[in-house]
Amino acid sequence: MVTTLNFKDIIDLPKWRSLSTPSSTIAISSSSTEVMSCDFRNNEDRHPYLYLMNSSGNFMCYNTKNDGWQVLAVAGLAAQVTSSFFMSAWGPRGTITTTGSNNSFTLSTVLPATVGRNQLANRGDGIGFKVRIIGSNAGSSGKTEERYIIANTGETTAPTIIVDNPFSFIPATGDKYEILSGRIYFIGQSNAAGSFKYYDVATNSFSGNLSTTNIPANFTEANLVGLDELLVPYDRNPGEGFFGTLTATASGATSLTGQAIGGDAIVVANQYRNFQIRIVQDTAIPTAAGQRRNITSHTAGASPIYTVPAWSVTPSVNAQYVIENNGDRMILWTTVGLNTNTYTISTGVWDVAGTIFANRAAGIGAGFFSNQAFSIEVDTASPPNVRNSYIYSFRAGSSSTLDIFDIAGAATGTWILNTTYGNAANPGSSSLFQSGSNSTLDPATNQGRYMYINRGAAGSGPYSTVFVRFDMKNQMLEPFTNLRFPLSTVATSNSQKIMAYSVYVDGTTKLSFIFFAPYSVIVGSFSKLFFGLAISR
């Protein structure tokens, strides 16, 4: 039976509900730091768990479908965790060695950790991880297709995979695979070795120490913003990019020409600069399939010409492609200086601050937070009023100032400082964003417009935990329902990032939820709590 939502304004008010509390292994003290991570995909492809890590590196997951917690590991970060980001498209990747049919294949590359029998066929809710096959070997199909895993052999570094529905082609030896299970990147409060790692979801394993060269030392707080390629507008599915699958009309060694009608024919010049082109099908030249290239510039439609670094194999003139986030990049801002550092995942290198993306032009404060507007629909105005390339970054630190970083605004992006928006609080107001402010997005409902924000101010009354939401499309701050528990000073420290998102999907019906995990004051001591709230409208 299809779920029907019939919420009535004013009558059906949103209400927080109390959920299972996290394990007692979470440290409780005035110096605690915590981060919560979630998968921002907008459909059932998203991973069903939320992940919580504290200052001691205790790492656990929460099943949103069963309201249960499970301790997984101790991460072993060299410094207290301060930020994280779930990169949905990054899981195990490699090539295929042997194929027997159009619904099974064997991996030739070593996974990050050994998997058990059928481990990849259950991501934690009875549904297997999704795998993408790219028929890019010479003589192969030139196609890209995705399926759910329903079985795998175990106790081996190269398991055989079986999928739920046959591919339209038989994967060939040398074709590429990508398990779209996700990695969670964590960063601690320093650039010491071991302060930056990722957790691989599919294999339940942590990476070794990742490079921290070029990032600042000894910062109190940070924001990691991942430009993940599976993060798309609310009316698109992960993997479709911002316009769906498009067909090229010409190609060159360092270019691709887009559609003359429909799709990206509406773009204005450089609207998606610093995003990426991914070739999803090239049956004429199969070895061109799967290539990703950063867009360095492009002309306006119709038939926009995208300039890119040289292709390894020039695509055919009718290759199919998508325009999506550059999934190889993560941006880091910290409370030390104005640095913008960018991490390239494929090379494992942080750039010298300001090299890939421009440094901030104004300082930030404790509790600052940043979110990309990938989830709003493509603005067809010319020029667009609001872009998917905008990253909204509130300075906090007892201010209401909003800066926008437009990653497409110039070769290294452009800062738009002190942006005007509706319902901004006046200086000196109690409604400013304080130390401990934190936020999460809802990319699935309400046209993907809203980021939800806890203001971070400690209070003593029953209505002191105040939430607002920011409309990224219309640049308006709106009051939102309060949580009727007072927060402790622990919950309002500047290193708590404890909000997350999930979505219930039934056919075309979607109902999003936000989650919040504060400390509350009970009889003078700290108590860890956990709450969820359905977002109806």
* CATH label of the domain that carries residue 531: 2.130.10.10
Sign of CA dihedral 171, 172, 175, 181: positive
521, part of any domain: yes
Residues 320, 454, single domain; the answer is no
**Residue 158 has what pLDDT?**
82
Mean pLDDT of 365-388: 94
Residues 355, 317, single domain; the answer is no
CA angle 298, 233, 247 (to 5 degrees): 45
Domain end position, chosen among 305, 324, 343: 324
202, part of any domain: yes
Residues 363, 497, single domain; the answer is yes
Q: How confident is the model at residue 375 (pLDDT cuts 50, 70, 90)?
A: very high
Do 368 and 332 contact (CB within 8 A), yes or no? no
Q: How many domains does the chain have?
A: 3
Residue with more model confidence, 98 or 144: 144
Do 370 and 227 contact (CB within 8 A), yes or no? no
173 CB burial (10 A radius; 0-12, 13-18, 19+):
middle
Model's pTM, two decimal places?
A: 0.95
Instruction: Give the contacts of 29 (CB within 8 A, at least 6 positions apart).
Output: 490, 526
Residues 214, 340, single domain; the answer is yes
Region of poorest pLDDT, from 138-142, 164-168, 382-386, 410-414: 382-386
Q: Is the model's pLDDT at 537 over the cut of 80?
A: no
Residues 36, 158, single domain; the answer is no
The pairing of strands 496-497 and 34-37 is: parallel
Question: How crowded is residue 31: how many other Cβ atoms within 10 Å of its Cβ?
Answer: 10
393, part of any domain: yes
Q: Is the model's pLDDT at 423 over the cut of 50?
A: yes
Residue type, 27: A
Residues 373, 513, single domain; the answer is yes
2, part of any domain: no
The whole domain housing 288 covers 246-324
pLDDT tens by residue, 102-142: 999 999 888 999 999 999 999 999 999 999 999 999 999 99
440, part of any domain: yes
Closest CA to 341 of 329, 322, 354, 328: 354
12, part of any domain: no
Q: How confident is the model at residue 57 (pLDDT cuts 50, 70, 90)?
A: confident
**Residue 524 has what pLDDT?**
43
Residues 389, 468, single domain; the answer is yes
pLDDT tens by residue, 428-457: 676 788 888 889 999 999 999 999 999 876
Residues 372, 416, single domain; the answer is yes
Q: Is the model's pLDDT at 157 over the cut of 80?
A: no
Domain end position, chosen among 303, 324, 345: 324
**Residue 176 has what pLDDT?**
96
Question: How crowded is residue 419: how many other Cβ atoms within 10 Å of its Cβ?
Answer: 16
For residues 375 and 9, give the distance between their C-alpha atoms in angstroms, rounded to a whole number: 24
**Residue 533 has what pLDDT?**
78
Which tokens in the block code for residue 285? 């030249």
Residues 409, 267, single domain; the answer is no
Residues 261, 219, single domain; the answer is no
Average pLDDT, the chain: 90
Residues 189, 165, single domain; the answer is no
Sign of CA dihedral 424, 371, 333, 276: negative
For residues 378 and 340, give the distance between their C-alpha atoms in angstroms, rounded to a whole number: 26
**Residue 488 has what pLDDT?**
63
Sign of CA dihedral 516, 518, 521, 525: positive
Domain end position, chosen among 159, 179, 199: 179
Residues 393, 518, single domain; the answer is yes
354, part of any domain: yes
For residues 57 and 187, give the distance between their C-alpha atoms in angstroms, rounded to a whole number: 11
Mean pLDDT of 206-221: 95
Q: Is the model's pLDDT at 363 over the cut of 70?
A: yes
